[in-house]
Structure 1
Amino acid sequence: MVGKKSGRAQLREEGLERTDNNLDLTTWPQVNMINQKNYYTEFMKREDQYLAFRAPQDEQRARMVREARDKDRALAQGILTEGGNVAVGDEPMDDVEAPILSREDYPSKLIILHIGSQNLRIGLGTDALPKTVPMVIARKWKESESEEDGGEPSPKRLKVDGAVPADAFPEKWFGDDFSDQYLAMSSALRVRMRTNKRRVLPNSKDLVVNFNRRTPPDIISEHNDVNRIDWTELPSDPTKAPSFFIGNDALRIPEQSNPRYKLFWPIRNGSFNEKDYTNRNQIYHDISKIIEEALRTQLGITRSRDLANYKCVFIIPDLYERTYVTTMLDILIRDIGIGKVCLQQESLSATFGAGYSSACVVDIGAHKISICCVDEGMCIEESRINLKMGGADVTETFIKMMLYGHFPYADMNLKRRFDFLLAEELKHKFCSMEESSVIVQTWDFHLRASGQDTRKYQFKTYDETMLSVMGFFTPSIFDHTRKLEGRRKVIPRSVDLYDGSPNDPTSLAQIAIIEAAGGKALSVNGTQETPNGVAVSTPQRAAPLNFLGRLNDNENTPRSSIAGSPAPDGTSTPNPDRDTPGMGDTDQPTIFRDPVLEKIKLADERDKVLPVIALDHAILESLAQGARGEDRKLRDFFGGIMLIGGGSKTPGLGAFLETRLRELRPYYGKEILVGPPPREFDPQVVIWKGGSVFGRLSLNGNDSWISKSEYDILGSRLLNNKCMFAW
């Protein structure tokens, strides 16, 4: 029997005895295990952990310290008394306050910038009205824009064997389609005027044609023309000519100049002009040059290093493209060198300028119409609409109708600079939506071209002045053939960083407009309205506009699976996924789909459709999506429809639109009210004025300012935290 061993002996014999000297086996720090039962962290859960929030707080703290230090220094030097008043000698002046604020916080250091397709409006926070500069740059080129395409004019004439026939009548210049639509609109206008007890003469058109056909122009020598134009002068040596001109100087360059110059408009339809550019960098540099020259000539900021002390409120479209916003932000901060930039949407800025809390803003610009409902200082995202038509289409259609009526200046070409300016002048003077103006009237105008004597023309008009603006309600009369040309050719679509799907913002109202423009009818008060304005009667009463059922993401009731249901055994029911060419193996039906690829295909299909429908139907769609079924809110929006933009200055347009809306929505006849901005504001500058008001209210207490130091670190990722709207 073996005796019992002690514990010490067992440790020694079995090798379990500890023989080290209590020293660590390694000098590498030991990390203890995490207690999984009570695990907690504050990482990225506080605002002070975000650079976008921490930097403004640090700047505010540094500014307060600097102000206190400056005040103490002033007290020590005897400039200020203990009460904060300025002292002169031994007696303080109580009516003078101490200049405590930093100079960069004054409104004189605030720039408001609103870029449109045709004009750039820029000004300081202390300006009552902005400076307007045409958004155009003229660069040296091998030929001018009027000489391109073999000198083909605009509006385009119908050609036979590559040339316009000499004996062709003006009624045949623009094709049978335009002629039929013009005559149909003219006939409908006469019926409307007779219904409204207006006198309509049967031979009015014949009077206009006969007068215009036989009236020659009067020649006025240049020294007798008191309103002659000062053209842009070029040096006699072509090698010393400037490489570019900006704004009005570019529009006043003679057509046959030596060297030749070509006009470039970098912005079209609220985004970049990809039709006339072949390089993204060229668009980038042209916009930079236009803004830099506007800052230098209009605001007097001649030194680039001074711009670091300025802040800029940049106004963007409501339904923007991400690439447009990030590119413009990069131009302002990195290329031009502005210290801080804040982004503001157009419709929200318009309500700031007008002093409204809730409104439906209809902005009629040169190349786009923007519609958006604003409620309590926020743009309702699903109500945003962008129509690709505007005042430029009215100008072209007005000239077409004038030429159709044997306009005495039959050689008008909108590609020529002086003809373009003349057409804009004629539109502003003579176009009207008032039925009282639809009479035979005699007008005159002066044609001034570089190197030619001034010619005075007399002409008569009848219904062209109204029917051209009626194109907003019958958009098929406009020429849309080249508006989608070059789309996505130079600048690609913005995509998500992780899955590559398109991430440009859209809205239910815009989706409905695209579907309607693609051929699907909008239900309006018991009739189906097609995109060209032809009504098709329906037997049942139409329900309120609601397009929520078209998108899966906005439905409360889930739909069935995207996978097709299997067919019963022994039947020959076709499977669309299997039988469609290019959808996989014919023996095995497609079960899984790539959602990213579907989004890309859907975005490509939408890009192929031009969003253009009648203006009154687009407003009703925006109102329906903005109210979202609330009758009280819908009535508020109906009573606050505000027309802004250059196209809204047409006399009688607001009253005519109001009448059309009441005809489509008779149940809200008393609530519908369409009007211009209050306090006799110019509709063209109300957006800029709202940006000025917003910038002056938020110089210190606004977290939406993007500084250069933050932008250098985070880039456009800052917009997720800096924008007051959903980015």
Structure 2
Amino acid sequence: MVGKKSGRAQLREEGLARTDNNLDLTTWPQVNMINQKNYYTEFLKREEQYLAFRAPQEEATARMVQAARDKDRALAFGAPPDGAAEQMQDDAAEDSALPSTLDESAKLVIIHAGSQNLRIGYGTDALPKTVPMVIARKWQENESEEGDGEPSPKRLKVDGVVPAAAYPEKWFGEDFANQYQTMCSELRTRMRSNKRRVLPNSKELVINFNRRTPAEHINEHNDMNRIDWTELPADPRKAPEFFTGHEALRIPEQSNPRYKLFWPIRNGTFNERAYSNRNQIYNDLSQIIEKALKTQLGIKRMKDLANYKCVFVIPDLYERQYAATLLDILIRDLGFGRVCLQQESLSATFGAGYSSACVVDIGAQKTSICCVDEGMCIEDSRINMKMGGSDVTETFIKMMLFDHFPYSDINLKRRYDFILAEELKQKVCTMDDTTVVVQTLDFHLRAPEQDTRRYQFKTYDETMLSVMGFFKPAIFDLPSKLEGRRTVIPRSVDLYDGSPNDPLSVAQQQVLDHAAGGSVSTNGTQEPAPAPTPAVNSTPSRNQQFSLLSRLTDVENTPRSSVAGSPGPEGTPNPDRDTPMGEADQPLVFRDPVLEKIKAADERDKVVPVMPLDEAILYSLMQGARGDDRKLRDFFGGIMLIGGGSKTPDLRAFLETRLRELRPFYGKEILVGPPPREFDPQVVIWKGGSVFGRLSSHGNDSWISKAEYNMLGSRLLTHKCMFAW
């Protein structure tokens, strides 16, 4: 009888016993468990671990190595005397730290893109080249034929019909007529208080003269200042696809084929009203800048831009999509080797040579205000208002038509009428009340394929009241500025929670509250509005929108992790319940902070940020001084007025007087001045970008190289911008 076998013997006989062949179960390395009581990591703890900081250091090291090799090669051809080698080494080190040489400045391009003009030039240029920021493309109809040929400024219809030319007082509605008459009465009162002579029948003289004065026709061969219009080939199929700059503005209206003007930037941001696709906006911007580089700077091959650096000037209160898109155009579409983004106000202080100032930039379609202190823009003092010189032009034409302007068919959608209106504004508009008298002027109307017409007209107070719109912006056409907003390019949002992340300052929020109908005091506190504001224009306060604590707390200021809020006194109403505390329990209503930010951003987009210029400057100064009276006095004495709109005669003195009326206690300190050294206020921002671009690259980490951008994209702006991105 066979004895009973053990289990081990059975496994051995049946081949199920486990044997060790000294082979690992896997070829992957086995990592031991971390001792969680004592462990340490250096991940993202040093700047060398960031590509944005490491790449410039590697380039500096490569330059030093190359300089050492060049010195050794020079020494091999002839040994210098004793001590000269060390001197050459010191000189080489100093040369590497000096500002850019003349050759490097010749490879530097500065670009300042505005709503109406593009200013571009080399770092070695004293002044930039100015090109209209417009492109004309082949289209079915031109801009003056769209919308059934509705002119600009728009004539209102009475009973479906535009009033006849004999009744221009009814062309723009009762609101405009009442505002215009009110401004005329206030101006007469002001002139009488300043001991100015006011004739009682001045308006009647202007209207009667303009009504009965006909135009004088001049043959083209007798016109010494005739315009050379853009010529098109006889075969429409051979016509270019697009024109840019001055050539686009000189295309005849009835050309074959038709061309339509597109302005890709309006009011300081993308023009979504005229486009239906974001790629069209990007393509037009790229084409305008590329054509300016070829025609104005003489760059023939775009491949050569890999050896060029570019300083691009952006608004102080920018939109992130705007800045990121232009950076992508400059590096990927145009091919610049390096690009740097700079803010307008900071560039203005560089160009003027100031360390601290309150910069007031009045452009064609936007007015920006910002306080700069020691080379940094104070974030909460930034203001961006959607009004400028173009609004003055349109208002001036409205007032002239109201007073029976002899050229009653003027239409700012027509190219030659737009150029004529700009010339008239620059010629006659002023803020000097001593010139508010009845005066006779003339102009020549030059249209393609038509005889030149000479008009005589009289003006009275229209020349000053149109510019007065900066201080009474209700006279401007504001609702049209919001058409097409957020229909083509979406708002920039945070990568993690999806909340809007465009920068917003305290001063800008006060402007929005004022434009929405609220009342904001100049010390930054919110005051109740005299009447309830419509919900469409209501804007919550900034503390409720952007407080970091609001992400962690609910409406009752209790932590999000808490289920219920802290109980209040008995009988205190609960804002999240329909019944007071102590009655039947109802579910609490928790608000999502991200959703609240999105709603607040949507409400802000429905309000045109516009307010009187003098009050906006005070709001910016209050936020820039941050309660420091000494700094406030310094800013009051350093208000710098720049931009094309600032060239209006006596606007600076008038603004200074208005500020002293609002702040009489600072009357001695208030000083509004132009840029120093009789510098052109239109190009001081461009000049500041040129000064910044020629600074030493050592210690300047704001340059974005093409290799870095191809790897990280717009995320580099977090580390490369001199301002908070």
1:451 to 443, 449, 457: 449
In angstroms, what is the RMSD of aligned CA positions?
Answer: 3.1
CA shift at 1:28, angstroms? 5.4
Tell me: CA distance 1:565–1:192, structure 2 relative to 1, closer, same or farther (3 Å). farther
1:484 matched to 2:478: no
Trace 1:178-577 onto structure 2 (pairs within 5 A).
Answer: 178-523=176-521, 553=547, 560-561=556-557, 577=576
CA shift at 1:523, angstroms? 2.7
Tell me: CA distance 1:666–1:25, structure 2 relative to 1, closer, same or farther (3 Å). same
Indicate conservation of the 8 Å contact 1:351/1:357, yes or no.
Answer: yes
Equivalent residue of 1:142, what SS? coil
Equivalent residue of 1:122, what SS? strand
CA shift at 1:49, angstroms? 1.0
CA shift at 1:529, angstroms? 11
Equivalent residue of 2:401, what SS? helix
Q: Amino acid of the residue matched to residue 278 of structure 2?
A: R
Equivalent residue of 1:444, what SS? strand
Indicate conservation of the 8 Å contact 1:347/1:374, yes or no.
Answer: yes
Indicate conservation of the 8 Å contact 1:110/1:310, yes or no.
Answer: yes
1:668 to 650, 666, 669: 666
Aligned equivalents of 1:421 and 1:627: distance in 2? 41
Equivalent residue of 2:186, what SS? helix
Aligned equivalents of 2:52 and 2:240: distance in 1? 43
Q: Which ranges in structure 2 are unaligned for 5 or more consecutive residues?
A: 1-17, 86-94, 532-540, 559-563
Q: Residue 49 of structure 1 corresponds to which residue in structure 2?
A: 49
Q: Amino acid of the residue matched to residue 553 of structure 1?
A: S
Tell me: CA distance 1:370–1:79, structure 2 relative to 1, closer, same or farther (3 Å). farther
Indicate conservation of the 8 Å contact 1:418/1:449, yes or no.
Answer: yes
- Bigger drift between 591-600 and 655-664 goes to 591-600
Indicate conservation of the 8 Å contact 1:104/1:309, yes or no.
Answer: no
CA shift at 1:480, angstroms? 1.0
Aligned equivalents of 1:249 and 1:386: distance in 2? 31
Aligned equivalents of 1:326 and 1:268: distance in 2? 17
Q: Amino acid of the residue matched to residue 508 of structure 1?
A: V
1:635 to 633, 636, 642: 633
Q: Amino acid of the residue matched to residue 389 of structure 1?
A: M
CA shift at 1:73, angstroms? 4.0
Aligned equivalents of 1:102 and 1:645: distance in 2? 29
Aligned equivalents of 2:59 and 2:443: distance in 1? 59
Q: Amino acid of the residue matched to residue 684 of structure 1?
A: Q
Tell me: CA distance 1:550–1:671, structure 2 relative to 1, closer, same or farther (3 Å). farther
Aligned equivalents of 1:102 and 1:664: distance in 2? 47
Aligned equivalents of 2:453 and 2:45: distance in 1? 73
CA shift at 1:617, angstroms? 0.7
Aligned equivalents of 2:108 and 2:546: distance in 1? 44
CA shift at 1:33, angstroms? 3.6
Q: Residue 5 of structure 1 corresponds to which residue in structure 2?
A: none
Indicate conservation of the 8 Å contact 2:545/2:600, yes or no.
Answer: no
Deviation sequence 1:648-697 (CA, Å, 0-9, x none): 00011111111111111111111110111111010100000000000001
Q: Residue 107 of structure 2 corresponds to which residue in structure 1?
A: 109
Q: Residue 536 of structure 2 corresponds to which residue in structure 1?
A: none
Q: Residue 719 of structure 2 corresponds to which residue in structure 1?
A: 721
Q: Amino acid of the residue matched to residue 32 of structure 1?
A: N
Aligned equivalents of 1:706 and 1:163: distance in 2? 57
Q: Residue 59 of structure 2 corresponds to which residue in structure 1?
A: 59
Deviation sequence 1:437-487 (CA, Å, 0-9, x none): 101111111110000111111111110000000000000000112100111
Q: Residue 35 of structure 2 corresponds to which residue in structure 1?
A: 35
Equivalent residue of 2:310, what SS? strand
CA shift at 1:698, angstroms? 3.4
Q: Amino acid of the residue matched to residue 561 of structure 1?
A: N
CA shift at 1:623, angstroms? 0.6
Indicate conservation of the 8 Å contact 1:364/1:390, yes or no.
Answer: yes
Aligned equivalents of 2:696 and 2:428: distance in 1? 42
Indicate conservation of the 8 Å contact 2:99/2:696, yes or no.
Answer: no
What percent identity do the matched residue pairs reach? 75
Tell me: CA distance 1:527–1:206, structure 2 relative to 1, closer, same or farther (3 Å). farther
Aligned equivalents of 1:721 and 1:101: distance in 2? 23
Aligned equivalents of 1:548 and 1:574: distance in 2? 25
Aligned equivalents of 1:552 and 1:313: distance in 2? 31
Equivalent residue of 1:406, what SS? coil
Aligned equivalents of 1:266 and 1:141: distance in 2? 16
Q: Amino acid of the residue matched to residue 599 of structure 2?
A: K
Aligned equivalents of 2:200 and 2:686: distance in 1? 47
Indicate conservation of the 8 Å contact 2:522/2:619, yes or no.
Answer: no
Aligned equivalents of 2:645 and 2:683: distance in 1? 12
Tell me: CA distance 1:405–1:248, structure 2 relative to 1, closer, same or farther (3 Å). same
CA shift at 1:590, angstroms? 3.2
- Bigger drift between 71-80 and 27-36 goes to 71-80
Deviation sequence 1:375-404 (CA, Å, 0-9, x none): 000000000001011100000000000111
Paired positions, count: 677
Aligned equivalents of 2:241 and 2:199: distance in 1? 55
Tell me: CA distance 1:665–1:227, structure 2 relative to 1, closer, same or farther (3 Å). same
Tell me: CA distance 1:602–1:28, structure 2 relative to 1, closer, same or farther (3 Å). closer
Task: Give the structure-2-normalised TM-score.
Answer: 0.88
- Bigger drift between 590-599 and 262-271 goes to 590-599
Equivalent residue of 1:457, what SS? strand
Equivalent residue of 1:133, what SS? strand
Equivalent residue of 2:521, what SS? strand
Aligned equivalents of 1:392 and 1:291: distance in 2? 22
Tell me: CA distance 1:150–1:635, structure 2 relative to 1, closer, same or farther (3 Å). same
Aligned equivalents of 1:529 and 1:405: distance in 2? 40
CA shift at 1:48, angstroms? 1.1
CA shift at 1:172, angstroms? 1.2
Q: Amino acid of the residue matched to residue 672 of structure 2?
A: V
CA shift at 1:171, angstroms? 1.2
Equivalent residue of 1:146, what SS? coil
Q: Residue 123 of structure 1 corresponds to which residue in structure 2?
A: 121
Aligned equivalents of 2:399 and 2:492: distance in 1? 40
CA shift at 1:156, angstroms? 0.6
Aligned equivalents of 2:635 and 2:704: distance in 1? 33
Equivalent residue of 1:697, what SS? coil
Deviation sequence 1:538-597 (CA, Å, 0-9, x none): xxxxxxxxx8866672899x995278777988x7x87654459xxxxx983333221111
CA shift at 1:614, angstroms? 0.6
Equivalent residue of 1:38, what SS? coil
Tell me: CA distance 1:210–1:25, structure 2 relative to 1, closer, same or farther (3 Å). closer
Aligned equivalents of 1:403 and 1:576: distance in 2? 54
- Bigger drift between 207-216 and 321-330 goes to 207-216
Tell me: CA distance 1:621–1:432, structure 2 relative to 1, closer, same or farther (3 Å). same
Q: Which ranges in structure 1 are unaligned for 5 or more consecutive residues?
A: 1-18, 85-96, 537-546, 581-585
Tell me: CA distance 1:401–1:497, structure 2 relative to 1, closer, same or farther (3 Å). same
- Bigger drift between 137-146 and 522-531 goes to 522-531
Task: Give the structure-1-normalised TM-score.
Answer: 0.88
Q: Amino acid of the residue matched to residue 69 of structure 1?
A: R
Equivalent residue of 1:117, what SS? coil
Aligned equivalents of 1:568 and 1:221: distance in 2? 88
Deviation sequence 1:323-369 (CA, Å, 0-9, x none): 00110000000000000000100000000000111100000001100
